[in-house]
Structure 1
Amino acid sequence: MSQTQPGNAKFVAARLQRGWHSQTDVAEAYQQHAALLGERATITVRQVRRWESPTPGWPNTLARRVLRNMFGMPLEELGFVPLQPVRRDTTAAAPGREDDSMRRRTVLGGILAGATPLLDPHALEHLAAAVTSARRYADHHLVAHLRTALDEAARTDGRTGPRQALPAALGILGAIDEIARDAAPAVRRELLVVGARAAEFTAWLHRDAGDPPHIATFFHDRAIEWATLTGDGPMHAYVLLRKAQATDRDDAARMRDLAQAAVHGPWTLPPRAQAEALQQEARAMALTGTAPDVVARTLDHAHEALAAAPPAEPATCTGPLCAGYTTDRLMAQSAICHREAGQPESAVVLLRQHLSRGDFAPRDRAFFTAHLAGALAAAGEPDEAATTGLAALGLAAAPHFGQALGELRRTVAALRPYARRATVRELRQALTALPA
């Protein structure tokens, strides 16, 4: 019996890491990156399919240039095989020097393509010089440029969703990964501190975009590695919290273990981050059937931690962990705990109260409104649940806030017994009509 020949797994993995979920996405990205290089070049889905086949061939000169710019890595690492060995003039350069130079140029192309919109010309020039010669040009000013770019990428995510922010986040992460190899020790540590934040943010973007879980796991692990290397215990714990939040409800025991490790591990989280981690632990307890009074005590500990925190600050990607975590957010998340514990009426009361008065970012308002719809469905209010779900969909659809959309799909599933009601049908049809 013949076996199906595997395709070019390296190319597929690389495009998924960059948020290109379909072969059509790759073709569109190819055209965009070609334009950045001053070329008017397109490819068809059929060509992408050929590159993902067991015999991808060796792209032509223009395609090689565009692909290196898109992925920021040598074509051999994308599964392509050169037609013939590359000849080197060993008298002109030391062994490996030419390969290293080519690698740096291709990495630089990928970095600049993603980060260009977020950096001013001086910062871009500084970044390009540091990729070429890290020991000479990687300094504290460069680290500051990368922090600024990362915070701007987070603002882009908040405005327009994860898909728009992913290229920049990957570009920043690639820059840090490349420059840190040869940077002086003091600068390398600063780069890796920012890198841990960038890796965690990239994991979040992939998660919210609906990518396969192993992609977020890859970036979470990178964030933990860099936090460990720099001795940043609070960041290590924070990534454990984010891993807990990314854990599926069907694996509540793992969610609980991760949240407990974040709270009780050999580190001290800042009070606001500790409050959020305790809340996540309470949610996992509710999912695993822990007694309601134990869940309530854990939520009380979260409120105590928040009460001990310094004043809230505007949330940024590189600032204090959970600096913008507020009482309204904690109460909205506590409502989710009540919902998970089978108390949807209590969840409805809390969510209505704090959504009406809290200052939530668009993504958070969409997410908690979607949970309100689910709580209303569980409380036996199908029409109000569907109407609330449509309001949440209006917030989440355009930027494609994946966590909110996931909760709305869960709500629609809960409303199946009421499928013939007009508002329920409208919500289901609106969700179905969303592009993949």
Structure 2
Amino acid sequence: MSEAASRNTLLVAARVRHGWHTQQEFADAYERHALTLGERTGISVRQVRRWESGRSEWPNRDARRVLESMFGLPLEQLGFVRPIASGAAFHRVPESAPEEAPIPPLVEGAEVRRHGGRELVSRLGTALERAAYLDGRRGPGGVLPVTLELVRSIEGMAREARADVRRELLYLGSRAAEFTAWLYRDSGASAGTVLYWHDRAIEWADLCGDGAMHGYVLLRKAQATERTDPARMRDLAHAAVHGPWSLPLRARAEALQQEARALALGGAAPEDVARLLDRAGEALDAAPPGGPVGTATCIGPLCGGYDLDRLMAQSAVCHREAGRPERAATLLREHLATGAFAPRDRAFFTAHLAGALAAAGHPDEAAMTGLSVLRLAAAPRFGQALRELRRSAGLLRPYGRRSTVRELRRALASLPV
């Protein structure tokens, strides 16, 4: 059995969902948690690696107690297999609660090696699109371990492929690395981790000679920039549009919109923000037909499904940042009603609607809107939507005695950190 086939993806997914993005972070958290249980014990990164490789024995009693307390799950749902003695032999028992299991590996290393050429590229591309689809509905926790396996598969296949296929694999690897950056960002990983994956995406785009992909990743880097650094955000978005490549018109429209948001965050006049948004609309109007409505994902390709509803929702965010919350709320109400958004994106834009309503002086409607975000975002842990909702809820502090606001604050306080 290959390492990919035997890997304990259940434990990896659970670790990432809890915010422990490296094996060392998990080992450190294990030791801290053990102390809260009165256990003065720890584990090494080597032990974590053994557990996640799927080649480890059933944990001992102390480790079982710590692991089940950390995750709130029985060990079987963390991918461990309870031994059942039959003479000297041990047999696997079925895993319980399949509805709680993360997404299974989309591509196995041994499996993809049986396919060659463009059929391989097509299989890997389909797996990547599937991962993006599932992320938009289930959140990053279960998708991230699978996508990391996919990146490793692409990288390994590229080493052995002939030149023309290698170029296609590197392009696909660039998309997969950018998507991995997105997943880490939504999971709450450090800025350095997100930057690492964006830089890998740019490296692979450059290696396969795809300048437009380089520009596209710059756009995604701009979107990942904290709102407290509008100058960097604007520089990245501007470079995406004006670099030595021809950015497709849909991607150009989104990059111009992102530059408009940076202007708004930097305190520019609302008319200057509106002017850039008009240019974004003109680029979208001139674009050839794209993918089906609502198919735009973080991985593209190159904003192929970017449509008017998404542009208008993002433009509403720009108006909110520019101090025009009523205009933002009007646009968001309209285009959330008519647009086809994945649950993740709908939660994110609805969180902005809650903030716009709060800033416009409609606290009860803002709080009720915020509660609807929780219904979408809490279970799959859509990180950016929840962070934006917390920021929007901060605007409701002056209305803290209202029952709807209290309800929202209680619901937010009950969420796991």
Query: Aligned equivalents of 1:385 and 1:285: distance in 2?
Result: 26
RMSD (Å) for aligned C-alpha atoms: 3.1
1:292-331 alignment runs, 5 A limit: 292-314=270-292, 315=295, 320-331=301-312
Q: Is residue 26–residue 48 contact of structure 1 (8 Å, CA) maintained in 2?
A: no
Q: Which residue of structure 1 aligns with residue 112 of structure 2?
A: 127
1:192 is displaced (CA, Å) by: 0.8
> CA shift at 1:239, angstroms?
0.7
Aligned to 2:239: 261
What whole-Å deviation, never above 9, does each CA across 1:342-377 have from its counterpart, x for those lacking one? Answer: 111111111111112222221121111110100011
Is the 2:205–2:214 Cα contact (8 Å) retained in structure 1?
Answer: yes
Superposed CA offset, 1:221-252 (max 9, x none): 10000001111111111111111111111011
* Counterpart Cα distance in 2 of 1:49 and 1:164: 29
Which residue does 1:201 correspond to in 2?
179
Pairing 1:118–2:118 present: no
Residues 1:421 and 2:402 aligned together: yes
Question: What's the TM-score, normalizing by structure 2?
Answer: 0.76
Please state how far the C-alpha of 1:145 moved relative to its aligned partner.
1.5
**In the alignment, does 2:150 pair up with 1:186?**
no
Q: CA deviation at 1:51?
A: 3.6
CA distance in 2, matches of 1:125, 1:20: 27
Q: Name 2:210's counterpart in structure 1.
A: 232
CA distance in 2, matches of 1:331, 1:298: 13
Structure 1 contact 247–255 (Cα < 8 Å) conserved: yes
Give the Cα–Cα distance (whole angstroms) in 1 for the partners of residues 157 and 318 of structure 2.
Answer: 43
The worse-fitting range, judged by mean Cα deviation, of 344-353 and 301-310 is: 344-353
Q: Please report how far the alpha carbon of residue 285 of structure 1 lies from its aligned counterpart in structure 2 after TM superposition.
A: 0.5
Are 1:158 and 1:362, in contact at CA under 8 Å, matched by a contact in 2? yes
Indicate the SS of the match to 2:341: coil
- For 1:19, the equivalent position in structure 2 comes to 16
Other structure's SS at 1:250 match: coil
Aligned residue pair count: 350
The counterpart of 1:50, out of the listed 37, 42, 57, is 42
Distance in 2, matches of 1:69 and 1:240, equals 38
Q: Provide closer, same or farther for how the CA distance between residues 172 and 316 of structure 1 changes in structure 2, counting only shifts above 3 A.
A: farther
Instruction: Please give the secondary structure, in 2, of the residue aligned with 1:181.
Output: helix
**Alignment-derived partner of residue 109 in structure 1:** none
Task: Please name the residue that 2:7 is paired with.
Answer: none
Answering whether residue 249 of structure 2 is matched by residue 271 of structure 1, we say: yes
Superposed, which structure 2 residues align to 1:59-78 within 5 Å? 65-68=50-53
Deviations, residues 146-205 of structure 1 (Å, cap 9, x unaligned): 111111111111221111111110000011222323333222222111100000001111
Deviation for aligned residue 1:24:
12
Q: Which residue in the other structure is 1:337 paired with?
A: 318
Correspondence for 2:413? 432
Q: Is the 8 A contact 1:19 1:206 kept in 2?
A: no
Alpha carbons of structure 1 residues 319 and 400: separation in structure 2 relative to 1, 3 Å: closer
**Which structure 1 segments of 5+ residues have no match?**
1-14, 31-42, 71-113, 130-136
Q: What is the alpha-carbon distance in structure 2 between the residues aligned to residue 255 and residue 237 of structure 1?
A: 14
Whether the 8 Å contact between 2:252 and 2:283 is mirrored in structure 1 is yes
The letter for the 1-side match of 2:16 is G
Q: Aligned to 2:149, what secondary structure does the other structure show?
A: helix
Contact 2:17 2:140 (C-alpha < 8 Å) held by counterparts: no
> Alignment partner of 1:355: what SS?
helix
TM-score (norm 1): 0.73
Distance 1:49 1:223 in 2: 40
Tell me which residue corresponds to 1:174: 152
Which runs of no fewer than 5 residues in structure 2 stay unpaired?
A: 1-11, 56-101
